[in-house]
Structure 1
């Protein structure tokens, strides 16, 4: 449907057909990433709750102006129950990445 959000980046489970036969479903998504400038409020207030409700295990908001990476995890129908914020110099340790310095992304 048109109401489904479209992430800037999505990391999907591997499939032999590389999704050529059908679009990925929520259960195929391991991680979504939103790169936010002017869309920051929409990404936080609209997209993150929708991703959590869909059961996507991890979602990031990369805040370009604030120079932070917000990592949302532990999805539930009412939203993500965990939010971790990383800044330059911090090391990301998430369900999807291990030992990545935030400055390599920001």
Structure 2
């Protein structure tokens, strides 16, 4: 087994901290920090994941009110030891081309599109951590026979935990965090057209 490169060793006994990622250019793209441990996106992403992420980001651009912006694949510094990088989010902070992360107070909605390697993190670890950080809305997008299904959660302020606000297939129509109407099947329309042609 080959030795790990020097940059992969944590610079302190307690592990990595969120600010370290700003000074770690050797790390692979989309490296996250969960409980002080680096998490690398090592498995290749499927086109399905890319279509859904891009489609949701584009759809939200046409839906968000003034003063909000959709962002994709930018980190949130939840606390000293946690800096995940959601697939898509809606933020209220002023745009800054040099920004490398957002604070939880800047984030209204987080969306994770589940991949085979991210199932546990998206459904359990991030589910808990985003809620504890006070992010009001969390969507988890699952692949159901090639079509996106969105599990919508809202933060219960009394418990600081997410409560289910619905499961949406074909069409996502929801009044919060702002009026949302998204044709979910359209997000993967290229795949559906190719599948019909192959059949």
Same fold (TM over 0.5): yes
> Is 1:30 aligned with 2:111?
no
Residue among 52, 58, 62 paired with 2:131 = 52
Query: Which residue in 2 is equivalent to 1:8?
Result: 87
> Is 1:84 aligned with 2:166?
yes
Residue among 53, 58, 71 paired with 2:152 = 71
Gaps spanning 5+ residues in structure 2: where? 1-17, 19-32, 35-81, 189-199
Q: Is the 8 A contact 1:59 1:71 kept in 2?
A: yes
Does the residue aligned with 1:64 lie in a helix, a strand or coil? strand
Alignment RMSD (CA, Å): 2.4
How many residues are paired up? 104
> Is 1:61 aligned with 2:140?
yes
CA–CA separation in structure 1 for the residues paired with 2:151 and 2:120: 13
The structure with the largest strand share of the pair is: 1
The structure with the largest helix share of the pair is: 2
Cα gap change, 1:85 to 1:54, in 2 (>3 Å) = same
Aligned pairs for 1:86-105 within 5 A? 86-88=168-170, 90-93=171-174, 94-105=176-187
**Greater C-alpha radius of gyration:** 2
Gaps spanning 5+ residues in structure 1: where? none
Identify the structure with bigger relative contact order (alpha carbons < 8 Å, sequence gap 6+).
1
User: TM-score, normalised to structure 2's length?
Assistant: 0.45
After TM superposition, the runs of 4+ consecutive aligned structure 1 residues lying more than 4 A away are: 75-78
User: TM-score, normalised to structure 1's length?
Assistant: 0.77
Following TM superposition, by how much is the alpha carbon of 1:74 offset from its aligned partner in structure 2, in angstroms? 2.0
